[in-house]
Amino acid sequence: MTHENTKLARAFAAFSLPSQQASKSKELGFDPYNFAAPDGAGMDWCRSVLTLRSTSHLLIAPGADGLPYGSFATLRLIDLTERANRDGQFFSLPAASSILSQFKDSEAAAKSGEQIKAFNRALDLISDAVFCYMPSEPAGLDSRELDRVKIARGEFIRDWKASCHSGAPILDSDPQNGIFVFKMFSYRDGSECQLSAAAYQILTGGTVNGWSVGSYVPLRLSSVRHLSGNNSALNLYCYLNSRKRGIRDRLELSLYSLWTQIGGMHPAKSFYDSVKRSLPLIKEVWPDVGAFYNTGANADSETGRFQKAPKLVILQGRPQAIVSTAELEIDLRIAEHHDRIKMERQMSAAAKLGLPKWGKGKTKSEEVKRLSNVLRGRSVAFAETEKAMQRKQEQEALNASRLDQNFDPFDI
């Protein structure tokens, strides 16, 4: 049995769009003037959590009518990715009802006047917005270059937000540090769409200055159709397809970290609940998704009380839509490169603390785990020592003040 697949640019599968329009976002305490999604949940799409400090981001500056948002905007991006890969940089868009019918099980829903109006509005919001994608770092960068990129991107994000609020011109791309700013498309001759050069590369795949600026994530069209009415479930489905690649055992993601990446301006608690509700819906169309919600209840070592740190656990497996074995092997090689950099950083830190550089008879993964535990123990011990010294200094200062108060200059 064959299944029809579709595509979504990796930048929009790993990072979801805002979940509601600007006025609703403002009521919930979010900034309606700009949208910044950091890669909090695992190095964009194929990086091991905690392997390196994440630098990937998706930024969106709104057009005159606000930010693109919701499931209709995601469906529009899926359609644009499909057309870019099939037709090239220039193409004509058919009627909204024709496109919408691909993503709706009900023909009546696809032809609903309100649905078509919202679908057209989603395209207008996408065309007016300015996007900035900062992809994951190339495999060849060393730790010093990664630190330089992190600083440059941090300064860029700060200036971007200031520009959005002040109405100043949006900043230009900085390809040296993997910062790519683009408008999605414009209209040519009234009806034909012309993708910008950067958008075309991000939707189809390309490399600029050594940075892989884009590719796409294959999705099962029937699954997209089934989930199209639920924005949270659709975003999580796209993310899981992008994140499944490169996992060699299992991955435990803090839901707080995942919220920063695909929360889409949901309040955190609301997002946690949406993940719990979305997973059963995804399993209806992808029974072997290999992902489940973990309450993460742990006892606090000091108080003994249980604290909840909910997690999403993703097991090793393949994305639902078919990808080539060669692609999966490339993903694993990239992950191995990042493991090596992580190990080099930890061994360097261990050497500074006078620890042995390598344990005899241990594999690389065992050594990385051992060094992590040792360094964590050293950092805890160091923190406790600092606290003890601080308490000692405070006590000495208190004793000195008491001596000063009891001192009588005429008592000679």
User: What is the reported pLDDT for 409?
Assistant: 40
Least trusted range by pLDDT, from 52-56, 183-187, 327-331, 393-397:
327-331
Burial call 3-18: b when 16+ CB within 10 Å, e when fewer:
eebbbbbbbbbbbbbb
Q: Can you tell me the mean pLDDT for 131-156?
A: 84
User: What is the structure's pLDDT at 244?
Assistant: 83
The sign of the torsion formed by the CA atoms of 173, 175, 179, 180 equals positive
Q: CB atoms < 10 A from the CB of 172, how many? A: 8
Mean pLDDT of 26-30: 74
**Token pair of 287, please?**
């029974």
Find out whether 274 and 232 touch, Cβ atoms under 8 Å.
yes
CA 73, 77, 82, 87 torsion-angle sign:
positive
Smallest CA-to-CA distance from 31 within 164, 157, 167 is with 164
Q: What is the mean pLDDT of residues 312-336?
A: 65
pLDDT at residue 184, as a whole number = 95
Task: Tell me what pLDDT residue 295 has.
Answer: 82
- Whole-angstrom distance, CA of residue 257 vs CA of residue 250: 17
With the CA atoms of 93, 96, 101 and 107 taken in that order, what torsion angle do they form, in degrees rounded to the nearest 10? -150
Mean of the pLDDT values across residues 33-54? 55
More confident residue, 245 or 251: 251
Lowest mean pLDDT among 63-72, 109-118, 335-344: 335-344
Token pair recorded at residue 400: 């000195």
pLDDT in tens, 48-74: 333 344 568 899 999 888 899 999 999
pLDDT score of 323 more than 80? no
Residue 195, pLDDT above cutoff 50: yes
The pLDDT > 90 percentage for the chain reads: 30
What does the buried/exposed string (b/e) look like for 115-140 if buried means 16 or more CB atoms within 10 Å of the residue's CB?
bbebbebbbebbbbbbbbbbbbbbbe
For tokens 């003040």, the residue is: 401
Q: What is the average per-residue pLDDT within 256-261?
A: 87
Q: Does the pLDDT value for residue 299 go beyond 60?
A: no
pLDDT band at residue 316 using 50, 70 and 90 as cut-offs? confident
Which pLDDT belongs to residue 249? 77
Place of tokens 């606290």: 387
pTM: 0.75
> What does pLDDT average to over the chain?
77
Residue 122, pLDDT above cutoff 70: yes
* Residue 33, pLDDT score: 77
Alpha-carbon distances, residue 20 vs 27, 30, 209, 240, 266 (angstroms):
11, 11, 35, 21, 8
Nearest to 271 by CA among 285, 258, 284: 258
Measured CA to CA in angstroms, residue 311 lies from 16, 292, 293 at distances of 18, 9, 6
CA distances from 128 to 63, 121, 158, 308 (A): 5, 11, 22, 41
